[in-house]
Amino acid sequence: METVYWILFAAGVLLAIITILFGDVFEFAGGGAPYLSPTVIAAFITVFGGTGAFLTIAGDLPPMLTALISLVIALTLTSVILFAVIIPLYRAQTSAAFSSKEMVGKMAEVITPIEPGMKGEIIYEQGGSRLSAPAKTMQDTRIEQGESVWIMDVIGGTFIVEKAGK
């Protein structure tokens, strides 16, 4: 049984490394279910395998009790990671995406000139904070630094803007 725990531990560590290197590539359920995130799964497998291997080596416990204790510890630590880290980060990411869409129809100021077909940068105010974002225009004219623009749309995190006063 010790070999099984070591294999699970190694698989969990490997999954954690892959998740760190490749990010959301292996996100299950379209990112909509944080409890199915690779980070949570890797944490569970790693803790379960590591605890099981440790208890098998260090203790004289029956295999079923070792598995039960490992399961409880893995579920507890994974729940802490899920509710203290993963879900708050997921909510912050989701609320930021929705808040960008709320800016459509609002004014902003260009801080890096926007060339036709190229990206520049705008600064806008939201919730009492001044935020900057990449922006581009569908117009065929350059928009200079300091000019006011209307936010027309947000596509993939890039604000689509038009010169104000047109």
The confidence score (pLDDT) of residue 50 equals 97
pTM metric for this prediction: 0.56
Question: Looking at residue 26, what is its pLDDT?
Answer: 57
Specify the pLDDT at position 131.
86
CATH code: domain of residue 125: 2.40.50.140
The stretches in the chain having pLDDT less than 70 are 23-34, 92-99, 166
The 10s digit of each residue's pLDDT in 83-108 is 998 888 777 665 555 567 788 989 99
Q: Of 52, 70, 101, at which residue does a domain stop?
A: 101
* pLDDT for the residue 43: 94
Residue 156 confidence (pLDDT): 82
Same domain, residue pair 144 and 120: yes
SS3 12: helix
Distance (Å, whole) CA 88 – CA 23: 17
Structure tokens given for 36: 């199915």
38-58 and 63-81 helices cross at what angle (nearest 10)?
Answer: 150
Q: Which two tokens stand for residue 108?
A: 């902003």
Beta strands in the chain (DSSP E): 107-112, 120-126, 129-137, 148-155, 158-163
Choose the final residue of a domain: 57, 73, 101: 101
From 101, 133, 155, give the residue that closes a domain: 101
**Residue with token string 């801080």:** 111
Give residue 76's pLDDT: 97
Cα 140 to the center of its chain, rounded Å: 35
Q: Are residues 71 and 112 in the same domain?
A: no
Range of the domain at 121: 107-163
